[in-house]
Structure 1
């Protein structure tokens, strides 16, 4: 079954014989062994076959699909208040890691922080099953450079909703990390390790959730939870909801909402998306001026990520938050 990019066309500038990817050839061995290695080591990639580069690699995508199917197990494990609290807490903490650090820090460098804080939030973000910090930042910088053109892999205006929402994420071309887009980040070996072994942290979180549930079952049975229940709600459900909330900015925030600023792309401001993504839904604001730590440009534009960054700034954990310049406000449509 070959589900490929909706528009069949050459992609000039995107297929090269030698790219500076963080990758090494998979070498010899059985086909199954090569595929299994690629699940755990993103450097273990074969050369891109131009004919299949933009088709979903169903075998490589199998763990991602299985993560969704695992959510069905809520039927058997049940639910408890504590499992919902843990799922919600992990959603919130990891969403902030993505929006505050993978996006506003790694991708756009809108503030400064220490190497320790940088690593902590890179680690938290790596648990989200949205690949590593270098991959995330490299692809996002490419998105801004080519927003809503044929070179933007997740443009809904060109490739449609399903492809921009999830299809592009599962193709051989987009599995890889182009380090030439993130030279400022690639110099950190700890970030390169997180990027290369991007399934390790999610697996560790899943294991931790299971044993946390087992522990609660024994020490606080009145909470009504178990290892299986905490695994399903705390990891699988929380992670799947987090993923789809995040990628609505690709698929929906370029289609639905208002446009305060004239931009070359179709970005829009959407309050509902801003609420579930902690401020990322003010997408037209962001595309007009991506250099600000703040995406809700006005006090009534709820931007939870901005509030969190302000708190961290007050605690001395981050520095140099970049505000919205006066000229940006002046350029807004009346």
Structure 2
């Protein structure tokens, strides 16, 4: 079997039934799975999903302090921009186009570290990258860790229920999984440590990285605008960390075919291009599913792509040594044939 068929820990309710169809668990089943996999007292191998949501919980007090103590409209505007645009774009730059798809390459480890820590750490690289490979291999099919056909809750809680690595890989398969992570800068566990912790990432290094990252950015925000600005931006990051968990449900039509002719050219799955995620985060999702390894997914003139602008700028200053850009291929293979076909239909009806 291909590694991506079993690289993720299968939930207790399974990916598919005996007939091969997608299992659509009830909300109760999803919630029981969620809390079971968060329980670090049950097994310490639950530490990474636990940390994934602990960061959200730890960001909540900053949001409350901002709302009830430090609220001003300028700080609200700053929090909105930081949450929606800066955090969103960074997620596309780092987790999506680099950690998963290797759409570009850094000149050296300094620029990788610089880009990795441009914003607050809120999502572990391992949780995102490994599962996203599976998402592309099985998009909208059983085994897709955030399959919109199974409903909102299935997608929203996927980082705990469906995205963690399989804890029972052989040493050979674990080493194959490491290949998918080696470029990210995550210092991996040995196989013996993986058997102990159930993860590629080491808990102590992960916690230290989060603490140093948060400490650095709180100091920067405080020096710029005091505790009020720091709480506003940390709270905004928490809003993004929750909101981003809703994206794949929306980005795949909420389980319905919402693709638009002349807008969504990929017909192999239900991914759609949406204006808001596209503009604020460069996430033109249908385009991305057409060319997942492209460092640009905003191909048309109106498709703003801040993530691409950052990657291109880093290339211009020498920080990025290589990138893939599939814009020309998109026009040649999809947009131009579509336009020509439309013209032919108009001519034939006249």
TM class, shorter-chain normalised?
0.5 to 0.7
Distance 1:185 1:231, change over 3 A: same
TM-score by length of 2: 0.65
Residue aligned with 1:112, SS: strand
Deviation at 1:314, TM superposition (A): 0.9
Inter-partner Cα distance in structure 1 for 2:52 and 2:184? 27
C-alpha contact 1:292 1:322 (8 A) present in aligned 2: yes
Tell me the residue number matched to 2:35. Answer: none
Residue 161 of structure 2 is aligned to residue 186 of structure 1: no
Distance 1:63 1:99, change over 3 A: closer
Tell me the residue number matched to 1:22. Answer: none
Deviation at 1:66, TM superposition (A): 5.3
Q: Which of 14, 20, 35 does residue 10 from structure 1 map onto?
A: 14
Inter-partner Cα distance in structure 2 for 1:212 and 1:36? 36
Deviation at 1:87, TM superposition (A): 3.6
Q: Which of 290, 298, 306 does residue 308 from structure 2 map onto?
A: 306
Distance 1:251 1:184, change over 3 A: closer
C-alpha contact 1:11 1:151 (8 A) present in aligned 2: yes
C-alpha contact 1:214 1:226 (8 A) present in aligned 2: yes
Inter-partner Cα distance in structure 2 for 1:37 and 1:187? 32
Tell me the residue number matched to 1:174. Answer: 163
Inter-partner Cα distance in structure 2 for 1:325 and 1:210? 38
Tell me the residue number matched to 2:151. Answer: 160
Any gaps of 5 or more consecutive residues in structure 2?
1-10, 18-38, 168-173, 190-199, 340-350
Residue aligned with 1:320, SS: strand
Tell me the residue number matched to 1:24. Answer: none
Across the aligned residues of Structure 1 and Structure 2, the Cα RMSD in angstroms comes to 3.8
Tell me the residue number matched to 2:112. Answer: 118
Tell me the residue number matched to 1:140. Answer: 132
Tell me the residue number matched to 2:232. Answer: 233
Tell me the residue number matched to 1:35. Answer: 40
Any gaps of 5 or more consecutive residues in structure 1?
1-6, 14-33, 39-43, 48-56, 217-224
Q: Specify which structure has the bigger relative contact order, considering alpha-carbon pairs within 8 angstroms and separated by 6 or more residues.
A: 2
**Which structure dedicates a bigger proportion of its chain to helix?**
2
C-alpha contact 1:263 1:287 (8 A) present in aligned 2: no
Inter-partner Cα distance in structure 2 for 1:136 and 1:90? 21
